[in-house]
């Protein structure tokens, strides 16, 4: 009897452990199937370290907003994090913030639509955006727009359109072809 009783008690913990393990596996499978794991875009998973500086990492529902200032001839691009309002496209939200803060483009000039195709951000802008500026304002606009879009790993280049037509330039820089949002620094 004593032996039988001992055998009965030794099976209990084993069954319990197996049950816990099975529940754990089921929870993990459910997370992979229905949880957030499969919602990470492929592009983000594949981004090599060189394209995504640690300092630029934001929460998924946050973006970095750029505000330009000048000290003499030096351009500074101030950055801060902001939540993206519900239902807003994060890229458009960040880009229009920059355009508004630049105080260069007319008040009604804004990005009205955007799609990313083959890593090129194709930005539809309102007609009032399409004009040319002095080289210092052109520098502010191009560097600010590039810095804004460079936070999105899937964007490598940008091109602007007004009512389906390419914006050729904002002054002196040729924009008829997409330009890189991560331009090389001036010095090698």
Binding stretches for another protein (CB under 8 A): 48-51, 53-55, 68, 70, 72-73, 102-104, 131-140, 142-143, 168-169, 171-174, 179-180, 182-188
d(C-alpha 49, C-alpha 52), whole Å: 5
H/E segment holding residue 162: strand 157-162
Compute the least distance from the CB of residue 29 to another protein, in Å.
31
Instruction: State the Cα angle at 49 between 44 and 55, rounded to 5°.
Output: 90
For another protein, which is the closer residue by CB, 82 or 171?
Answer: 171
CB of 164 or CB of 188, closer to another protein? 188
Residue among 24 and 53 whose Cβ is closer to another protein: 53
- Can you name the residues that pair with 111 across neighbouring β-strands? 125
Question: What tokens appear for 100 in the block?
Answer: 């508004």
Residue with tokens 């880009």: 95
Nearest distance from residue 27's CB to another protein, in Å? 33
Rounded to the nearest whole angstrom, what is the least distance from the CB of residue 10 to another protein in the complex? 51
Residue 69 CB, nearest approach to another protein (Å) = 9
Residue 145 contacts residue 133 (beta carbons within 8 Å): no
Residue placing its CB nearer to another protein in the complex, 70 or 80: 70
Residue 35 phi/psi, 5° resolution? -85, -155
């Amino acid at each position: 009897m004593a032996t039988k009783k001992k055998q009965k008690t030794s099976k209990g913990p084993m069954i319990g452990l197996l049950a816990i393990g099975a529940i754990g596996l089921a929870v993990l499978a459910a997370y992979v199937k229905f949880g957030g794991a499969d919602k990470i875009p492929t592009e983000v998973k594949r981004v090599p370290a060189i394209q995504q500086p640690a300092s630029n990492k934001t929460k998924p529902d946050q973006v970095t907003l750029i505000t330009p200032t000048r000290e003499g001839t030096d351009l500074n691009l101030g950055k801060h994090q902001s939540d993206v309002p519900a239902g807003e496209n994060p890229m458009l939200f960040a880009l229009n913030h920059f355009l508004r803060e630049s105080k260069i483009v007319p008040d009604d000039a804004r990005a009205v639509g955007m799609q990313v195709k083959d890593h090129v951000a194709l930005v539809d802008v309102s007609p009032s955006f399409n004009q040319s500026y002095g080289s210092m304002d052109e520098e502010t606009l191009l560097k600010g727009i590039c810095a804004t879009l460079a936070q999105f790993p899937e964007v490598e280049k940008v091109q602007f359109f007004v009512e389906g037509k390419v914006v050729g330039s904002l002054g002196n820089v040729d924009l008829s072809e997409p330009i890189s949002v991560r331009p090389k620094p001036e010095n090698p």
